[in-house]
Amino acid sequence: MKLAKALLLLIFMNAAAQDNYNLIVGTYTNACTSKGIYVYDFNVNTLDFKLKANTDGSVVNPSYVTVSPDKKFVYSVNEDGKNSTVSAFKYAPASGKLDFLGKKDSKGADPCYLINDDKNVIVANYSGGTIAVFEKKADGSINDAKQVVKHTGTGPDKSRQEAAHVHMVYFSPDKKYVFANDLGTDKVFMYSYNPNGGDKTLVLKGSTTVKPGSGPRHLVFNPNGTFMYLLSEMDGSLTVFNYIDDKLEQIQVCTVGLPESFMAKNGGADIHFSADGKYLYATNRMDANSITVFRVHANGLVNLVQQISTQGAGPRNFTIDPTDSYILIANQNTNNITIFKRDKSTGMLTDTKKKIELCAPVCLVFTANK
């Protein structure tokens, strides 16, 4: 009997442990009191959360983070104008502890996005208009940049598109390519990717031009990799592409923004798919401060089903929890993360009224807690 009870207790504890994940949050440290990167224990059933660890002020403006495929390391940008860097940390999921391994010059001002695989960390430098590639060392730290790609060009909005502004780098579904959105030139660049290619790790394959003055920001592929969805910041537009034979073909343009008749400012920010590929979500900052829900059809086309307030200002990055049941939105300007319940059948969102309060949250990433 005692053995049976012990086994039941063990099963219960294991089941309970699966309800908890780590939530990693990147923030700005120059706007209010922030210690940099935070790691929370987050329960996806109760929505309870508890701080596990942070970087204790050791890094400047780690506004965007990425986790290594083996979950042993975390990499962050350090957005600090011409002094910007890229930092590496050893990551212990059980404790949430982040041990600083070092940093390198980002090779461009104001890095705002980064990705990584087993070999490299690749960074988009917004103000610098560059993409920098850093090779990983065995201990998870990074070498000096082995390649720097410089974009040139302008767009019609001379106040914001006076030069190239690389806003995102993103792997293609098969990792053969790296896409780069350039807000300053209204183009999406496509680079062939050779992880061991040295100073030719990225080789330009081509580019796709989108609506002038739209300002491409973030993109995402649907789960089976047949369609690409591009969110533009300046006009709040969503552009849908077929992705066939390594080529992009535009098939739809719609909006996450407010009607032009409202004379409101849009600021398309982030975009993500539900795990089943049936729903697409996008945030809009500036006057809107909203999240839009789209139904995605088999032919890749979308239609709007909901647009609601994020219950905060400046919604930047957001994430869908590992169970696909909740969406957490980082409201940078109101210093909180709002939590919405997601209806898996309709895709629609309901405010849970629960929030995580912290300084200038920007980037949210879930990982396992062990």
Q: Are residues 257 and 282 in the same domain?
A: yes
> 290, 309, 328 — which closes off a domain?
309
Q: Are residues 169 and 63 in the same domain?
A: yes
Q: Are residues 245 and 183 in the same domain?
A: no
For residue 270, what pLDDT is reported?
98
Model-wide pTM > 0.85: yes
Angle among Cα 40, 45, 47 to the nearest 5 degrees reads: 45
pLDDT value at 316 more than 80: yes
Residue 47 lies in a domain: no
For residue 20, what pLDDT is reported?
97
Tell me how far apart the alpha carbons of residues 248 and 205 are, in angstroms, rounded to a whole number. Answer: 12
Residue 184 lies in a domain: yes
- 40-72 pLDDT, tens digit per residue, is 999 999 999 999 999 999 899 999 999 999 999
> Containing domain of residue 205, as a range?
59-209
State the pLDDT confidence band at 7, using cuts at 50, 70 and 90.
Answer: low
For residue 31, what pLDDT is reported?
87
Residue 12 lies in a domain: no
Contact assessment for residue 86 and residue 106, using Cβ atoms and an 8 Å cutoff: yes
Residue 297 lies in a domain: yes
Structural domains of the chain, count: 2
For residue 4, what pLDDT is reported?
56
The separation between CA 57 and the C-alpha centre of its own chain, rounded to angstroms, equals: 22
Q: DSSP H helical segments within 63-170, as ranges?
A: none
> 178, 209, 240 — which closes off a domain?
209
> 260, 286, 309 — which closes off a domain?
309
Residue 274 lies in a domain: yes
- 242-269 pLDDT, tens digit per residue, is 999 999 999 999 988 765 545 567 789 9
Residue 220: name the closest of 266, 265, 268 by CA.
Answer: 268
The separation between CA 286 and the C-alpha centre of its own chain, rounded to angstroms, equals: 18
Beta bridge partners of 281: 272, 293
Q: Are residues 166 and 246 in the same domain?
A: no
State the pLDDT confidence band at 11, using cuts at 50, 70 and 90.
Answer: low
Contact assessment for residue 66 and residue 117, using Cβ atoms and an 8 Å cutoff: no
CATH classification at residue 172: 2.130.10.10
pLDDT value at 223 more than 90: yes
Q: Are residues 278 and 199 in the same domain?
A: no
Tell me how far apart the alpha carbons of residues 367 and 370 are, in angstroms, rounded to a whole number. Answer: 9
For residue 171, what pLDDT is reported?
98
Q: Are residues 102 and 189 in the same domain?
A: yes
Beta bridge partners of 69: none
Q: Are residues 87 and 176 in the same domain?
A: yes
Residue 370 lies in a domain: no
Residue 44 lies in a domain: no
Q: Are residues 166 and 108 in the same domain?
A: yes
Q: Are residues 245 and 279 in the same domain?
A: yes
Q: Are residues 99 and 118 in the same domain?
A: yes
Beta bridge partners of 272: 281
The separation between CA 352 and the C-alpha centre of its own chain, rounded to angstroms, equals: 23
Residue 344 lies in a domain: no
State the pLDDT confidence band at 18, using cuts at 50, 70 and 90.
Answer: confident
